[in-house]
């Protein structure tokens, strides 16, 4: 074997060595490019999820407020009845904003028909308000809040917000996706 190698001209040996070196560099460059592309996609999904949760978050403020006002009005506090239209309008505006969310982004984080489902639950809650007693209304509000929290959790999973590898970001996303909605 060594006799064969020694019979090969030095120039050929250099060319073969150089070709191997180029091949190794190309393999590492492709691997680096692939990893960078994966990191960019991971980060892009996080941005989409964060944007959607930001658009969804006003519902976690307004639905409990609607529940409180509805309950107070039913107990006879007529002075708060004037605030209900503004809260309902705010909830309607939030749903309009959610429907305008970028469809490509929504597909990337697998939102599907969740916005429609939430809006149907809200519409049903408003339609049933006259026929349900306070306890049933309270339960219906709580179920809608639970659906919103479940949607936030789902978006957190599908958008990689809960999978972020950085420790400081992980705790921040844990708070945004899991803990804050639970307080709503």
Q: Regarding predicted confidence, which is higher, 47 or 163? A: 47
The structural domains of the chain, with segments of one domain joined by +, span: 44-183
Q: Distance between CA 58 and CA 64 in Å, rounded?
A: 10
Question: pLDDT at position 123, please?
Answer: 94
Question: pLDDT at position 166, please?
Answer: 60
Helix (H) or strand (E) holding 101: none
Q: Considering the entire predicted model, what is its pTM?
A: 0.72
Question: pLDDT at position 180, please?
Answer: 62
Radius of gyration (Cα) for the chain, nearest Å? 28
Cα dihedral: 141, 147, 152, 153 (round 10): 130
**Predicted confidence (pLDDT) per residue in 44-61, tens digit:** 888 888 889 989 999 999
**Predicted confidence (pLDDT) per residue in 3-55, tens digit:** 777 778 888 888 888 888 888 988 888 887 777 766 777 788 888 888 899 89
């Amino acid at each position: 074997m060594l006799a064969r190698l020694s019979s090969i001209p030095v120039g050929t040996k250099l060319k073969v060595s150089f070709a191997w070196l180029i091949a190794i560099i190309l393999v590492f460059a492709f691997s680096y490019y692939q990893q960078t592309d994966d990191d960019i996609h991971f980060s892009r999904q996080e941005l989409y999820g964060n944007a959607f949760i930001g658009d969804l978050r006003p519902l976690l403020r307004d639905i409990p407020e609607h529940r409180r006002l509805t309950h107070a009005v039913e107990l006879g506090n007529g002075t708060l009845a004037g605030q209900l239209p503004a809260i309902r309008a705010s909830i309607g505006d939030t749903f309009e904003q959610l429907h305008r969310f970028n469809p490509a982004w929504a597909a990337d984080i697998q939102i599907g028909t969740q916005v429609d489902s939430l809006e149907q639950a809200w519409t049903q809650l408003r339609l049933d308000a006259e026929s349900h007693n306070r306890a049933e209304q309270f339960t219906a509000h709580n179920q809608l809040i639970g659906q919103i929290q479940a949607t936030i959790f789902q978006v957190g999973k599908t958008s990689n917000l809960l999978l972020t590898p950085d420790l400081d970001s992980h705790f921040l996303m844990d708070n945004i996706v899991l803990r804050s909605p639970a307080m709503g």
